[in-house]
Chain A
Amino acid sequence: MVSIFDIFGKDKEPKSASVAKERLKVIVAHERRARNAPDYLPALQNDIMAVIRKYVDIDPEQLQIDLNEEGNFSVLEVNVNLPK
């Protein structure tokens, strides 16, 4: 219900429920992918991380790997953000 204080209020920030929904959609999608991924994926991610770190010092969150099903094969997507 919109009250007089809301109409004249200055709060234009997104409502907390929509923030919650967006955060949940992202994390749930991420966790579902991880759940369905093969067991070796975390180990593979660690090995790729170790190889990159031999050359460039990056944080763990700068490396993202995803395995996506595409019909009868899977695509391994590796995203690495290198510092300038």
Chain B
Amino acid sequence: MATILVVTSGKGGVGKTTTSAAVSMGLAMAGHKTVVVDFDIGLRNLDIIMNCERRVVFDFVNVIQGEASLNQALIKDKRCSDLYILPASQTRDKDALTKEGVKQVLDQLSEQFEYIVCDSPAGIEHGALMAMYYADTAIVVTNPEVSSVRDSDRILGILQSKSRRAETNDTPVKEHLLVTRFDPARVAKGEMLSIDDIEEILAVPLLGVIPESQAVLNASNSGNPVILDSKSDAGQAYSDTVERLLGKELPHRFLEAQKKGLFQRVFGG
């Protein structure tokens, strides 16, 4: 039985696809056979973040509608042999995803993979509901910013009431908080919500903190999941996140601002 993991947030642009790419690559590099599925029907982007946009022939919707087999649609990652990508359709709309169709594909994937990472679209509409419906575990990606925190709370409410586990009174979806684009220097200045603030408001266990980092844009520019940039702060923070997901206890890093020189300390900035 595979573990189905949804990466969700409510708000757009907070780092769901970046996280899906990094986490799925991290799980696969740790030796777990992993597939990452793009649920953003009509606006597929996981393929370009994973650098396989020119290898897409068939997609998720083709498989649901019986126009292609699952193995025809799966794209094998060129960097890690344990990682596969199932791209979203670019031409259909989100209603092409049905509960039954999604279940069929996830059941089939469960036979081959240990982890199925579902990259949710933004919003709380059909596509987002389909991405979370069958989840065992959820990573709620949140920026330290009011609209993102509020939307995360909304998504948590939906996980607790509209997921398969909620509807069938199964054990609840395991929730994890991942704070991204965190800037400790601004927290120190009182300009940004702290990790404690966000944990207090959302009351969800913290899985990881990804610092605001130039490495993330560099990674998406070249199509390499940022976790492969092991020299970068964001890459290391994602590696820690994956290890915690796999059960290891690690202290959170990158929570403190870099020490400033005397000049900066006296004159601010």
Residues of A with Cβ closer than 8 Å to B? Answer: 1, 3-6, 15-18, 20-21, 23-25, 27-28, 31-32, 35
Contacts and interface: CB of A to CB of B under 8 A. Distances in A.
B188 A17 contact: no
Interface string B191-205: 111100100111000
Given A24-B150, A25-B201, A31-B154, A4 B268 contact: yes
Contacts of B146: 20, 23-24
10 contacts: A1-B265, A1-B268, A5-B267, A6-B268, A17-B192, A17-B194, A20-B146, A21-B193, A21-B201, A32-B153
Interface of B: 145-146, 149-150, 153-154, 157, 161, 185, 187-194, 197, 200-202, 257, 260, 264-269
A4 B153 contact: no
A17 B193 CA distance: 5
A21 B197 contact: yes
Contacts of B153: 28, 31-32
Nearest to A18: B190
Task: Classify the interface of chain B: helix, strand, loop or mixed.
Answer: helix
B188 A1 contact: yes
Chain A CB within 10 Å — which of B153, B154, B260, B266 has the most?
Answer: B153
Nearest to A4: B266
Contacts of A16: 190-191
Given A24-B149, A35-B157, 12 more contacts: A1-B189, A1-B264, A4-B266, A4-B268, A15-B190, A17-B190, A21-B193, A23-B146, A28-B150, A28-B202, A31-B154, A32-B153
Contacts of B145: 20
B191 A32 contact: no
A15 B191 contact: yes
B201 A1 contact: no
The 3 A-B pairs of least Cβ separation, nearest first, read: A15-B190, A3-B268, A21-B197
B149 A3 contact: no
B267 A28 contact: no
A69 B251 CA distance: 38
Contacts of B161: 35
A5 B268 contact: yes
Given A27-B150, A28-B153, A31-B154, A20 B268 contact: no
B257 A1 contact: yes
B201 A17 contact: no
A35 B153 CA distance: 11
B266 A3 contact: yes
A51 to B, nearest CB: 31
Contacts of A17: 187, 190-194, 197
A1 B267 CA distance: 10
